[in-house]
A and B are shown apart, each in its own frame.
Chain A
Amino acid sequence: MNRFIFLAPVGLFAAVVIAFAAGLGRDPTKLPSTLIDKPLPKFDLPAVRPGDVGLKSGDETGEPRLLNVFASWCVSCKIEHPVLLELKARGVPIDGLDWKDEAVDGAKYLAGQGDPYRLAGNDKSGRAGIDLGVAGVPETFLVDRRGRVRYKHIGPISPEDWSGTIKPLMDRLRVEG
C-alpha cells in the first residue's frame, strides 16, 4: 500500500481535472427555473397584433402548449423563428410573450418573419417576463393542460432540442391526467 502512496497526488490531480472538465461543459447562462411544477404567475397582456385579444395567464385550452418569450430586438429569436413556424405547421400550440418591446415593433416583426403564435401578448414594461423569471430572450416554457410550468428552455430551440427533449415531454403531458 505504502509503495503506491506516491501515486496519490496523480489520483488527486485526475479527480480535479474531471471535476473541472465537467464544470466547464456546463453553460452558466442556463439557470434552473423556480417555476417548475408551479402555475404560471398572473399576467394579463394587451395584444401584439392589432385587433387581437392579447395573452393572459389562465387561458387554458386543456392541452399542453408552449409559451415562447420573444422580442423584435432579439437577434437569436430570428434563428429560432423558422423552428417555431415549422412547429406551428405541425399543429403545436405556441403562445408568444413579446418582452420589453413596443407592440408596434412586435407586430411588424411577426408580419415580416411569419407568425407562429396562437395568442400573443405585449409585455412592454417587462414585468410579466420578470415574474416568469425571464433573464433574456428567447426563453420557452412548456405549460401543461392545467397551466403549470413543466419545463423551461433557455435560448433558441433547435430542431434537436425539439425532437430530443421538448416533443417527448409534450407527448407525455398530453397523455397524463
Chain B
Amino acid sequence: MRRATLLLFALLALAGPARAVLPGEQLADPKLEARARAIGAQLRCLVCQNQSIDDSDASLASDLRVILRERLRAGDTDRQAIDYIVQRYGHYVLLNPPFEAETLLLWLGPALILVAGGVWVATLTRRAHRVEEPSPALTPDEQAQLVKRLDAESAS
C-alpha cells in the first residue's frame, strides 16, 4: 500500500504544468512544435496580460499560437517569427524585455541601487571607525587636579 502511494506521488511529480495549447493547434513535426512551445512561452497574451500565449485560454492567444506555427512552418527562424508578432503588438508582447535605450533603467536599475547602497554602507563604516581614535592623555596639571579631587572625596 505504502509503495503504491509513493509511486503515485513520484508519478505526480513528473507531471508538467498544464498548458493551454490545444491538440488541434499542435504541429505534426515534434521539432517545430518544440520550437513553437519555446517561443509561445516568451510571448505575452494581450488579453490576460501576465500570462504567456501558451498559458492563456483567450481566443486571441489561440490565434497567435496558430499564427506562430504558420510562420515556423513557412520556414521562419525563431527571431523572424517573434518579430512578426512584435511588429503588430510592439515590444510589450515580449515577456523578456530587450536591452535597449527605453529599458535601460529596468535592466541597470537594480545594479545602480546595489552600487549606491554599497557606497552608502562604505561611508558609514568608515565614519564609525574614525570615532575610535584614542583620546589624548591627561596633562601633568590635569593629573594633579584629579588626584587632589579624589583625595578630597575619600577624606570626607
Contact = CB atoms under 8 A, between A and B. Distances in A.
A130 B90 contact: no
A143 to B, nearest CB: 17
B90 A135 contact: no
A166 B88 CA distance: 23
Interface of B: 46-47, 49, 59-60, 63-64, 67, 86-90, 92
Contacts of A100: 59
Interface of A: 28-29, 31-34, 100, 125-127, 130-133, 135-136
A133 B60 contact: no
A130 B47 contact: no
SS class of chain A's interface: helix, strand, loop or mixed?
loop
B87 A130 contact: no
B15 to A, nearest CB: 32
A126 B148 CA distance: 101
Nearest to A8: B120
A126 B62 CA distance: 11
15 contacts: A31-B46, A31-B92, A32-B92, A33-B90, A34-B86, A34-B89, A34-B90, A100-B59, A126-B59, A126-B60, A130-B67, A131-B88, A133-B89, A135-B89, A136-B60
Contacts of B59: 100, 126
